[in-house]
Amino acid sequence: MTLETVAILTDFVLIFSLSIGIVFLFHKLRIVPIVGYLVTGVIIGPSVIGLVKDQTMIELFAEIGVILLLFTIGIEFSLKELIRSKRTIVLGGGMQVLLTIVVVTLIAIAAGQPMGIAIFLGFLVSMSSTAIVLRILSERAEMESPNGKVTISILIFQDLGIILMVLLVPLLAGTAGTSSSAMIFSILKAIAIVLLLIVAGRFIVPSILYHIVKTRNRELFLLGMIVICLGTATLTSMAGLSLAIGAFIIGLIISESEFSHQALSEILPLRDVFNSLFFISIGMLLDLGFVLDNFSIILYVVILVILIKFMLSMVSTVVLRYPIHTAFLVGLSLAQIGEFSFVLSLIGIQHGLLNNDIYQVFLASAILTMIATPFMIQMGPRIEDFITRQGKVSDHILKEKVGYDIEKHVVIAGYGINGRNLSSVLSAVKIPFVVVEMNPEIVISEKRKGLPIFYGDASKEDILKLTNISKAKILVVAICDPAHTRMMVKNARKLNPGIYIITRIRYVSEMEELYELGADEVIPAEFETSIEIFSRVLSRYLIPKEEIRKNVERVRKDGYEMIRDIYHKSRSIDDLGHHLTNIELETFRVMGGSIADGKTLAELNLRKQWGFTVLAIQRRNDVLNNPDGEDKLLEDDIVVLMGNRERLPDVSSVFAAS
């Protein structure tokens, strides 16, 4: 082993040893690893302790990290999802990027920068950090929330927009010629290369992967993916485009193949290692002495960048007809400079668009905005709630009269798959309900179909009042936003102490706080998913459906009883089945033409015939508690019975249509 090899290995050992300690510390502080890698780079860089001897080798591996990063991002994207969300992506993302470029360009020109450099600075600032923001949204379970969906849509546009920006860099620098013919030729060449990649990815790559997969050799599959990724990047670079562009496009194409999940799982470990080197190498480029000497200027730039991106992201979200509340959270999520800006900045340096001073200001500003991002997102809901309570910010509500005067109805917060299914069933059984949804497109579309739905944030008291919450019977919170779920439960319980509140959450760990806030039923998705899994496993072993149903019922009752015990939830009549042996509470609807239709309870004699006692009868919006023998059952009545669970199939025939 040569001394040069030993030196390189020593550098890598030092880099990863220090990064482990720093990333571990940042993990305890709840700061994303990317920031830890950047700080590691600053510390080991030449401006601080200068541990790394061969920085060229680090930059080489970092370049591979960028290629793998864009390749995996391409795989993680879904073309179908892009098409489905095209309005939010194109309008919201396009407006955010375009406005940011225009504003930053004007500021840079006013500061004395030439047009080409000013536009390029706009490019750099317009990008936000996909890696940091997605990581935080995932940890906070906000990927499916309204602000999460809008944020992700804008990030997708930014990631796609980097392709055009890379193509425009030579034109901004004047290295591709300034004539219109040269510009047209460059664009046509780029389009031709992209089309060639699409054709190759559509017809050639799947065939190659198919034959590799047939060998069932994981090492061969991994090598094939690396060759496809790096080979495509090399070809696009030889054609004058960025190394990373080809990797992103081929990844996007593979995302629609049956090999995408396996490809992603194989590449991710390599990507994480090389990607960490990329961010470390960026940190190494930062001159800490320059930062300290120009700290006031850098701080000014950081504040300016955060304010510009915050405000313009808010504007873009409001244009999509989302409320100020959602726009506020989106603005905080996108108020940083992203990792793709680092990639773009290196290309800009190669073409002479950035001198060292501007580059150092950019690096320092980008790193500081990244460090600030986790704290801004974490504090966002609290800041927004404080401002709202002060009356300085109010949600934008569609200018229309809601006019819901119904009583004893169900309020559904959120019109995702859970809200849709519930409203469909309620419509079928003729139970009154009203839906509150924050996606304006869904509201407009469903209102045209006659659905009782309106636009608003159901975590706000004013919006809940529009649903006539004080006279509602049930509130169902069917959204994926933990913070707003808690606010809805709290405000609904305040406005209607007697309302029955059912909420859905992702994790069992979130249940305690919701019960303390006043929820009656909290349904964790991970618990229900486990039930669905074992049900399907049993079905594959040909276990009878009735036996599976009994097991589902047992696990569900035992599980929720355990959860209620843990959180000291008071028991209701629904819990009798846990204490009275073989006793069951059940409800039946009186069907037209059934044995029960038109008969009194004395005539049916359910207690003597079947061993069941009638506890209550619900007729439309009225409830008759503890009915006597003279009370007659009518079609569509709902009867609440208590009795032997083994006789349920027998007594059900009394209420079924003949």
- Least confident range from 282-286, 467-471, 527-531: namely 527-531
- pLDDT of the residue at 421: 86
The model's pLDDT over 437-452, given as tens digits with 9 standing for 90+, comes to 877 778 888 888 888 8
- pLDDT of the residue at 169: 83
Averaged over 226-244, what is the pLDDT? 73
Tell me the C-alpha distance between 585 and 437, whole Å.
34
Q: Which CATH superfamily is domain 575-655 in?
A: Regulator of K+ conductance, C-terminal domain (3.30.70.1450)
The listed range with the strongest mean pLDDT (145-154, 280-289, 406-415) is 406-415
Nearest partner of 86 among 350, 393, 441, judged by Cα: 441
Residue 128 near residue 155 (C-beta atoms within 8 A): yes
- pLDDT of the residue at 126: 92
The model's pLDDT over 60-96, given as tens digits with 9 standing for 90+, comes to 766 777 777 777 777 766 666 666 677 788 888 899 9
Averaged over 578-588, what is the pLDDT? 65
Q: What are phi and psi of 248, to 5 degrees?
A: -65, -45
The listed range with the strongest mean pLDDT (35-39, 323-327, 456-460, 491-495) is 491-495
- pLDDT of the residue at 281: 78
More confident residue, 41 or 392: 41
Averaged over 421-435, what is the pLDDT? 86
Q: Which CATH superfamily is domain 410-572 in?
A: NAD(P)-binding Rossmann-like Domain (3.40.50.720)
The model's pLDDT over 302-319, given as tens digits with 9 standing for 90+, comes to 999 999 999 999 999 888
- For the domain 54-388, what is the CATH code? 1.20.1530.20
Whole-number percent of the chain with pLDDT over 90 = 9
- pLDDT of the residue at 98: 94
Tell me the C-alpha distance between 431 and 425, whole Å.
9
Bridge partner residues of 541 (DSSP)? none
Nearest partner of 453 among 410, 396, 483, judged by Cα: 410
- pLDDT of the residue at 557: 65
What does 234-295 look like in DSSP terms, one character per residue? HHHHHTTS-HHHHHHHHHHHHTTSTTHHHHHHHHHHHHHHHHHHHHHHHHHH--HHHHHHTH
Residue 521, classified by CB atoms within 10 Å of its CB into exposed (0-12), middle (13-18) or buried (19+), is: middle
Count of residues in the chain: 658
- pLDDT of the residue at 244: 65
The listed range with the strongest mean pLDDT (193-202, 287-296, 455-464) is 287-296
pLDDT band at 161 (very low <50, low <70, confident <90, very high): confident
Both tokens of residue 483?
Answer: 């913070």
Q: Which amino acid is at 145?
A: S
- pLDDT of the residue at 201: 66
Both tokens of residue 230?
Answer: 């790096």
The model's pLDDT over 363-396, given as tens digits with 9 standing for 90+, comes to 889 888 988 888 888 787 777 666 555 544 444 4
The residues near 406 (Cβ < 8 Å, ≥ 6 apart) are 432, 434, 468, 471
Residues of the chain with CATH 1.20.1530.20: 54-388
Examine the pLDDT at 150 and tell me if it is beyond 80: yes
Q: What is the residue-averaged pLDDT of the chain? A: 78
Residue 160 near residue 178 (C-beta atoms within 8 A): no
- Least confident range from 253-257, 601-605, 617-621: namely 253-257
- pLDDT of the residue at 567: 46
- pLDDT of the residue at 187: 66
Whole-number percent of the chain with pLDDT over 70 = 81
SS3 501: strand
Residues of the chain with CATH 3.40.50.720: 410-572
Examine the pLDDT at 401 and tell me if it is beyond 50: no
Examine the pLDDT at 569 and tell me if it is beyond 50: no
The model's pLDDT over 353-362, given as tens digits with 9 standing for 90+, comes to 888 888 889 9
Residue 267 near residue 71 (C-beta atoms within 8 A): yes
| For helices 324-333 and 146-173, angle between their N-to-C axes, nearest 10 degrees | 50
Examine the pLDDT at 398 and tell me if it is beyond 50: no
Averaged over 487-511, what is the pLDDT? 84
- pLDDT of the residue at 388: 54
Tell me the C-alpha distance between 568 and 577, whole Å.
18
The model's pLDDT over 462-483, given as tens digits with 9 standing for 90+, comes to 888 888 888 888 999 988 777 7
The listed range with the strongest mean pLDDT (91-100, 144-153, 420-429) is 91-100
- pLDDT of the residue at 450: 84
- pLDDT of the residue at 78: 63
The residues near 357 (Cβ < 8 Å, ≥ 6 apart) are 290
- pLDDT of the residue at 543: 75
- pLDDT of the residue at 53: 60
Averaged over 276-282, what is the pLDDT? 78
pLDDT band at 405 (very low <50, low <70, confident <90, very high): low
